[in-house]
Structures are given as structure tokens and as C-alpha cells.
Structure 1
Amino acid sequence: MDLSLWEAVAVFVAGLGAGTINTIVGSGTLITFPVLLAVGLPPVTANVSNSLGLVPGSISGAIGYRRELRGQGRRVLRLATAALIGGLTGAVLLLALPSRTFDTVVPALIAVALVLVVAQPRLAAAVRARRARNGTAAHRDGGLALFAGLLLASVYGGYFGAAQGIIYLSLMGVLLSDDLQRVNALKNVLTALVNGVAAIFFLFVADFDWTAVALIAIGSALGGQLGATIGRRLPPTALRAVIVAVGLVAIVQLLLK
């Protein structure tokens, strides 16, 4: 597809914004996907092109958070399995199911995730207190509950992905005894894996627009570094506030589309 100069600029800027917001919170797809539709791409082609283009941004954001990833190698390897299986499953479902299958479920899912993000400090404290009473230790990698939750969230991520980062943060924030910034770093790695495995699948079976992919890829890669710079400086309370604000915007946009 041939884009005009201003259309190309719009797609690039959308990629930049998506890469930035994805690294800090998530929901970057809600920036890029509408822009791709506006410049004339069919919905499935726009979704596939978006997934492929955002991979460099996810990788860039993970690199930007590399300091917070130290000591999480075992955790990454364990949860990467859920991300890869779920992402591939979601990519297959995108081509097999009607495009509006998840529309009624996703806003409610994001709302629940936001409640968990806000309540995370109290929930985590309650979980720690219960473990102390029972004399049990926290599972270092979140246990089966986190693996199963991330598997399902990754299916959604491979299918569409809007606000998948918020869902990841809510699950890991409650089930992992760790700093929110380290959890965010892990979220960026898992997002990169989901987008990456979905993109590889799409390369062989779906149509995409190389121009749009390239513009989003360059923009999102730059945005990943910008997002890491901003996100790493936010204290936990401010980061939660950003997550909630972005999540509410995502819910409104999904309900109105």
C-alpha cells in the first residue's frame, strides 16, 4: 500500500507513542491500530502489521530495563514458556475466529486488572501475612497460578494485545513478591516474546503491509528507549497512577469503537 507523506508520518508517530507507552505500561496497540485503519489497511492486515511492527519496540523496552532484569533469568525462562504458547495460540485464533470475538470481554478484563493494580500493595501484604501464619514460603516464580494466568493473558496478547501489559502487571504484581519496576521489566520481556512468536507465525500465513511494519518498527524501537527512561524514574505510586489512567482510556476506547 502506498502511503502519503503525512500518512507515513502519522504511522511513525503512532509507533513512537506505542513503543513508549508499551514500555511504561502497555496499551500501545490502541494508538497504532486505529491509525493503521485510518490510512486504509483492512482490520486483520492492520492487526498483523501492528504485531510485527511492535516487536522491535518490545525488545528495545526490555533492553532499556536490563538493570531491573538482573537475577530474574530463571523466572524469565519459566514464564517465557507460557508467553510463547499463549502468543502462538492467540495468533492462530486471530485468523480462525471473527474479529470481534473478544470485544465484549476485554473491557471487563482490563477493569479487573486495574482493580488488582490499585489493590496490589494490600493484596500482596495479605498474602505475605497468610504465608507467615501458615509457615509457607512464596513461590519464587509465582507458581502454577501465575503460569496459568500469564498463559491465558498471552493468548489474548497474540490475538490483539491492547492492554495486555496492564493484565501482566496486575497478575505479577499480586503473585510475585518483588518491586514493581522489576515486574515491569519482566512484563516487557514477556510482551516481546508474545509479539515475536505471533509475528513469526503471521509472516508465513497472513498478509501485512511492509511499509507500515517498517514505520512502526522504527518508531516503536525509539519509543522503547524513551519509555524505559521515563518509566524507570517513576516511583511505584506514580507508576500505578499511570497504569490506571492508561487502562481507563483503553476501556473507554474499546467500548466506543
Structure 2
Amino acid sequence: MPEVVTYLLLAGSAFLAGAINSVAGGGTLLTFPTLLGTGIADTVANATSTLALFPGSFAGSWAYRRELRSVRKFVLRMLPVSVVGGLIGSLLLVWFPSAFKVIVPWLILTAAVLFLIQPTLNRYVRMHQGEHGKVSTSVTVGVMAFQFLVAVYGGYFGAGIGILMLTALSFMHVGDIHHMNAVKTFLAAMINFVSVIVFIVDDLIRWDYAAVMCVSAIVGGYLGAHFGRKLPAVYIRWTVIVIGFGLAAYYFAKQ
């Protein structure tokens, strides 16, 4: 494949991923397989994809700074387990790269299933959300343990962690859906931040690809947030779902 075409495909996938993440989520399901198509190793593709989409997560956290201020105590409580879990997940990717190649189809399938059941989980979240109310210690510990597992998965692969976090946060009465989205976005950004550091230290980033994709993802994220309100999110979500299941089937068949 000509190098110019490769860069155009990577830029296009990152642009679409940034736009999709700003509306529905699931951008990793576009950038990761596109990077794999260039012939680089699975772990390098995953690491480069994480770095390429990280600026969007960070920008989203900044956009939610007002909501975050009102729930900062809860965020600080969840931050250590998120950072430690993300660190462990990214180290597992570095330490056991051969295992990652084997479970890639399962990771993609898991992400696709999460997006498929997202409306059901969203309804569940709305039923349990609230701005006030006491939360038992056992529920708090359970949510923190669940967040740790989500962070490990996020550090290792990451597609769909926002959906998982929103479901758990619905038990904690941290506020309305906007406050929960703020917490979810910030914690996801911190998980990605830790992962990116590990991937950089272990030289897993394909920098020329990452640079092009970062810029495209930022532009896509901005335009997606600006124009996404005019396009029904359900169409975008089903596009991600179809792509996810198709990719999972492809990689299962390839194995």
C-alpha cells in the first residue's frame, strides 16, 4: 500500500473515531483495525490507537470541569483504583504481548456487545441515578472493585469502558447524568494517561502514525460535537456495532 494512502486511511479513521467518540463512543473499533492493516504488531497498534485518541478524552474532561468540581471528593476516591488498574492493564499488555494477539477477537466482540446493550444499560442508569441519597459501605467497596477491573480492561484495550463505568456510577448517587458523564470521562482520561506513559516508556508507539491520527481525532471530535446533534446517535451507534461484530468475525476466522 502506498505510504500516502496509508496516512490518509489512518487520518480518516482517527477523524471518524474522534467524531464517534464525541457522540456515541467506540472509536477504538475504527482506529485499532486500521492500524493493524498497516502491518504493525498488535500491541503497537493498540498502543498507538490509545495515544491517538487520548487528547479527545482529556479535552472532554476539561469540558466537564464545572461538574467535576461538585463531585471532586468522589472523583478523588475513585482515582487511585483507576490509575492502579490502568497501570496493571497496560503492563499486562507489555509483559504478555503474545496473549494479546490471541484474545483480540474476544476484546473486539466484548466491546461490540457493550455497544449493542448500551440502551438497556442507559435505561438502568436513569432508573438508579439521583443527586442525593446514602450509599452503603458495601456498595461503595463493590463499585470501587468494579472500577478497578474496568481500569485493568481499559489499560489493556479499553473500548466500552465508559458504558461499564456509567452502569456502576448509577449506584453511587453522584448526581445527574451530566455529573456521571463528567466522572466517567475524567477517569477514562486518567486510565488512558497512565497507559500512554507505559506505552511510551516501552517504545510501543508508532510516532509518525500517532501524530497524524492525533490531529485528525481532535478535529473529528470537535466537529462531531458541533454537528453530531443534527445526526441521530442511533445511526452512529449501529454503525459501530456492525463494524465491531464484523471485525470480531474476521479476526476469529483469521485465527
What's the CA shift for 1:31?
A: 0.7
Please give the alpha-carbon distance, in whole angstroms, between the structure 2 residues aligned to 1:156 and 1:244: 21
User: 2:192 matched to 1:195?
Assistant: yes
1:109-168 CA-to-partner distances (Å, cap 9, x unmatched) read 76468647515545764798xxxxxxx72369x722221111101101110112222222
- Structure 2: runs of 5 or more not aligned: none
Partner of 1:255: 248
From 147, 151, 163, the counterpart of 2:148? 151
From 117, 120, 123, the counterpart of 1:118? 120
AA aligned to 2:120 is V
From 195, 202, 205, the counterpart of 1:205? 202
Please give the alpha-carbon distance, in whole angstroms, between the structure 1 residues aligned to 2:22 and 2:141: 26
Asked if 2 retains the 8 angstrom alpha-carbon contact of 1:24 and 1:228, the reply is yes
Partner of 2:29: 30
Partner of 1:20: 19
Moved more, 25-34 or 195-204: 25-34
User: 2:131 matched to 1:138?
Assistant: no
Partner of 1:184: 181
1:36-56 CA-to-partner distances (Å, cap 9, x unmatched) read 112222211111111122211
Partner of 1:96: 95
Partner of 1:63: 62
Q: Percent of counterpart pairs with the same letter?
A: 30
Please give the alpha-carbon distance, in whole angstroms, between the structure 2 residues aligned to 1:250 and 1:75: 35
Please give the alpha-carbon distance, in whole angstroms, between the structure 1 residues aligned to 2:47 and 2:109: 21
Asked if 1 retains the 8 angstrom alpha-carbon contact of 2:92 and 2:156, the reply is yes
TM-score, structure 1 normalization: 0.78
Tell me how many residue pairs correspond in the alignment. Answer: 244
AA aligned to 1:171 is A
TM-score, structure 2 normalization: 0.78
Please give the alpha-carbon distance, in whole angstroms, between the structure 1 residues aligned to 2:143 and 2:103: 25
SS of corresponding position for 2:120: helix
Asked if 2 retains the 8 angstrom alpha-carbon contact of 1:146 and 1:171, the reply is yes
Please give the alpha-carbon distance, in whole angstroms, between the structure 2 residues aligned to 1:105 and 1:52: 18
Asked if 1 retains the 8 angstrom alpha-carbon contact of 2:26 and 2:159, the reply is yes
What's the CA shift for 1:224?
A: 3.4
Quickly say closer, same or farther: Cα 1:193–1:250, change in 2 above 3 A: farther
Asked if 1 retains the 8 angstrom alpha-carbon contact of 2:114 and 2:163, the reply is no
Please give the alpha-carbon distance, in whole angstroms, between the structure 2 residues aligned to 1:215 and 1:3: 16
User: 2:6 matched to 1:7?
Assistant: yes
AA aligned to 2:161 is Q
AA aligned to 2:93 is L
SS of corresponding position for 1:101: helix
1:142-201 CA-to-partner distances (Å, cap 9, x unmatched) read 722221111101101110112222222222235445322332222221111111101101
Please give the alpha-carbon distance, in whole angstroms, between the structure 2 residues aligned to 1:146 and 1:188: 17
User: 2:74 matched to 1:75?
Assistant: yes
Moved more, 222-231 or 11-20: 222-231
1:10-36 CA-to-partner distances (Å, cap 9, x unmatched) read 212222222232233432110101111
AA aligned to 2:177 is L
SS of corresponding position for 2:70: coil
Asked if 2 retains the 8 angstrom alpha-carbon contact of 1:88 and 1:158, the reply is yes
